[in-house]
């Protein structure tokens, strides 16, 4: 089937520092990344006519970021849905470009979560003023990581999934991280101990954080950021690097419901839309860039994307299947992922950048002949209210 080529990723950049020690702000990270991504594309600031921003740089995001960049965009999009915001932005940029509203879209992200000692996973979620949407969980003092642990326990109870099977995800991403100099530097800067490839035993014997999730199944907390440039076909064809086409997208939302299945994510809704639009199947994907806040996040999303049936994920990932050098693939998070490369709070933009690297042939864990990738962001909390953004990407 011939896919629609309405828009393509033409420029990417990932900010290399995971510990900025308060020397730069999120806005400075965003601006530096934007300049490098535009350079990567062979474009200039004056070419940008659309801004997509998730608001992490401050209030009135679209207006302030435009002024900070010195731009006068005709399209401003400030969709903020957590870690999947950038998959939403890619989807919305594709639609805006196809509608003739813009020709060059700029997506940026910047965060100093590590420098600010932001307790992403273990901080309290409740407060003196409880939001009505929190009435099913925050009152109990549940933290973010305990929410994911609850999903892992339910998956184990329903399907017999084991900690050893979940550990396969951490082992594969760490193997990829050790091939990525920026990921190794990140672990050094963040003072990881015993930096090396890990084993199943290493993971299951690491410190318990929230039963049944161990330390090596939980994402790091880093600083960082990046930028992605998306362009119309007539611009993309003349850019410095080969275009990575956005072939299909899907967006979905899920929240707590009485009688709902917490092991099913919103990906079960967004994936069929994205794959259907692209005219492709999960089994055709060479690369799977999946939001890896925790090991269980990846396992459930692999199932919900359609790589295997619900409940079969544990068996499906066993034996190193997710490594970049395995023929049965897909290769998972070949930059090292949030578990071993970076996680500044919202990791969705890095799913797009590494997927683009793979389809350009530029990854440090390059899959031979990679031509198709899925990037899937999860925003919010698995098992509770969250969003899903699925983006299917292809090279020429």
Domain of 358, CATH number, reads 3.40.47.10
Highest mean pLDDT among 135-144, 154-163, 379-388: 154-163
Q: Is the pLDDT of residue 125 over 60?
A: no
What is the helix (H) or strand (E) element at residue 40, kind and residue range?
helix 26-41
Domain around 240: 8-116+221-395
Q: Which residues pair with 249 in a beta bridge?
A: 391
Structure-model confidence comparison of residues 256 and 119, the more confident one = 256
3-state secondary structure of 152: helix
Q: Is residue 270 part of a domain?
A: yes
In this structure, is residue 254 part of a structural domain? yes
With respect to residue 17, please indicate whether it lies within any of the assigned structural domains: yes
Residue 181 in any domain: the answer is no
Task: Identify the band that residue 133 occupies on the pLDDT scale cut at 50, 70 and 90.
Answer: low
| DSSP state for residue 138 in the 8-state scheme | G
**Residue 206 falls inside a structural domain:** no
pTM greater than the 0.75 cutoff: yes
Whole-number pLDDT of residue 126: 47
The pLDDT tens digits of the residues spanning 337-347 come to 999 999 999 99
d(CA 97, CA 235): 11
Give yes or no for residue 363 having a pLDDT over 60.
yes
The model's confidence at residue 30, banded by pLDDT at 50, 70 and 90, is: very high
Q: Is residue 122 part of a domain?
A: no
* pLDDT of residue 239 exceeding 60: yes
The 3-class SS string of 268-312 reads: HHHHHHHHHHHCCCHHHCCEEEECCCEHHHHHHHHHHHCCCCCCC
Count of residues for the chain? 396
DSSP state of 344: S
- State CA 369 to chain mean position distance: 23
Longest Cα–Cα distance in the chain: 55
User: Does pLDDT of 269 surpass 60?
Assistant: yes
The per-residue pLDDT for 344 is 95
Among 303, 265, 294, 278, CA closest to 389: 265
Confidence check: pLDDT of 374 > 60: yes
For 141-167, write each residue's pLDDT tens digit: 778 899 999 999 999 999 999 999 999
pLDDT at 258: 84
Strands (DSSP E) contained in the chain are: 8-14, 50-52, 75-77, 104-111, 208-210, 213-214, 224-231, 244-254, 287-290, 331-332, 372-380, 386-395
The Cβ-side half-sphere exposure at 120, using a 13 Å CA radius, reads: 26
* pLDDT confidence of residue 1: 44
Q: What is the C-alpha to C-alpha distance for residues 209 and 191, in angstroms, rounded to an integer?
A: 18
Contact between 275 and 306 (Cβ < 8 Å): yes
Q: Can you give the pLDDT at residue 63? A: 87
pLDDT at 136: 63
Cβ pair 15, 225 in contact under 8 A: yes
- Please return the burial class of 7, using the count of CB atoms within 10 Å of its CB with bins 0-12, 13-18 and 19+: buried
Please state, as a whole number, how many other Cβ atoms lie within 10 Å of the Cβ of residue 72.
11
Residue 329 lies in a domain: yes
Measured between alpha carbons, how far is 268 from 251 in angstroms, rounded to an integer?
10
| Backbone phi, psi, residue 247, to 5° | -95, -25
Asked if 346 and 85 touch (Cβ cutoff 8 Å), the reply is yes
| CA dist 69 → 114, 227, 271 (Å) | 25, 13, 34
Q: What is the pLDDT of residue 128?
A: 47
Q: What does the pLDDT look like over 290-342, one tens digit per residue?
A: 999 999 999 999 999 999 999 999 999 999 999 999 989 899 999 999 999 99
- Please give the mean pLDDT across all residues of the chain: 94
The pLDDT confidence band at residue 62, using thresholds 50, 70 and 90, is confident
Q: What does the alpha-carbon distance between residue 225 and residue 344 come to, in Å, rounded to a whole number?
A: 7
For residue 349, tell me if it sits in a domain. Answer: yes
pLDDT at 34 over 70: yes
Q: Which of 55-69, 159-173, 181-195 has the lowest mean pLDDT?
A: 55-69
Domain count, the chain: 1
pLDDT for position 22:
84
Radius of gyration for the chain, computed over Cα atoms and rounded to the nearest angstrom = 19
Residue 367 pLDDT > 90, yes or no? yes
> Which residues neighbour 143 within 8 Å (Cβ) at sequence distance 6 or greater?
121, 122, 123, 124, 125, 210
Query: Cα–Cα distance between 4 and 392 in angstroms, integer?
Result: 12
Rounded CA separation 383/256 (Å)? 7
């Amino acid at each position: 089937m011939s896919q629609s080529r309405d828009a393509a990723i033409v420029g990417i950049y990932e900010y290399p520092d995971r510990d900025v020690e308060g020397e730069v702000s999120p806005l400075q990270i965003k601006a530096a990344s934007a300049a490098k991504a535009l350079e990567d594309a062979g474009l200039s600031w004056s070419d940008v006519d659309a801004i997509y921003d998730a608001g992490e740089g401050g209030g009135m995001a679209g207006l302030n970021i435009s002024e900070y960049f010195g731009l006068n965009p005709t399209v401003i999009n400030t969709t903020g849905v957590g870690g999947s915001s950038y998959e939403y932005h890619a989807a919305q940029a594709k639609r805006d470009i196809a509608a003739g509203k813009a020709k060059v879209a700029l997506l940026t992200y910047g965060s100093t979560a590590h420098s600010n000692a932001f307790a992403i996973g273990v901080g309290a979620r409740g407060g003196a003023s409880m939001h009505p949407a929190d009435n099913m969980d925050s009152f109990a003092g549940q933290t973010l990581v305990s929410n994911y642990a609850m999903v892992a326990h339910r998956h184990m109870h329903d399907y017999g999934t084991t900690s050893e099977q979940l550990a396969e995800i951490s082992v594969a991403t760490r193997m990829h991280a050790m091939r990525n100099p920026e990921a190794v530097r990140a672990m050094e800067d963040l003072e990881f101990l015993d930096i090396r490839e890990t084993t199943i035993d290493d993971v299951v014997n690491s410190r318990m954080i929230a039963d049944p999730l161990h330390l090596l199944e939980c994402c790091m907390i880093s600083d960082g950021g990046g930028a992605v440039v998306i362009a119309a076909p007539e611009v993309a064809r003349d850019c410095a690097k080969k275009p990575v086409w956005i072939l299909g997208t899907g967006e979905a939302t899920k929240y707590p419901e009485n009688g709902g299945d917490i092991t099913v994510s919103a990906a079960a809704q967004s994936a069929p839309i994205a794959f259907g639009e692209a005219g492709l199947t999960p089994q055709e994907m060479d690369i799977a860039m999946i939001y890896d806040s925790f090991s269980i996040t990846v396992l459930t999303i692999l199932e919900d994307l359609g790589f295997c049936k619900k409940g079969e994920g544990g068996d499906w990932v066993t034996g190193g299947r997710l490594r970049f050098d395995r023929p049965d693939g897909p290769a998972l998070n070949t930059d090292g992922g949030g578990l071993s490369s970076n996680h500044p709070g919202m990791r969705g933009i890095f799913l797009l950048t590494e997927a683009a690297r793979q389809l350009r042939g530029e990854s440090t864990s390059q899959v031979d002949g990679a031509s198709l990738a899925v990037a899937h962001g999860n925003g919010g909390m698995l098992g509770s209210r969250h969003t899903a953004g699925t983006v299917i990407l292809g090279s020429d």
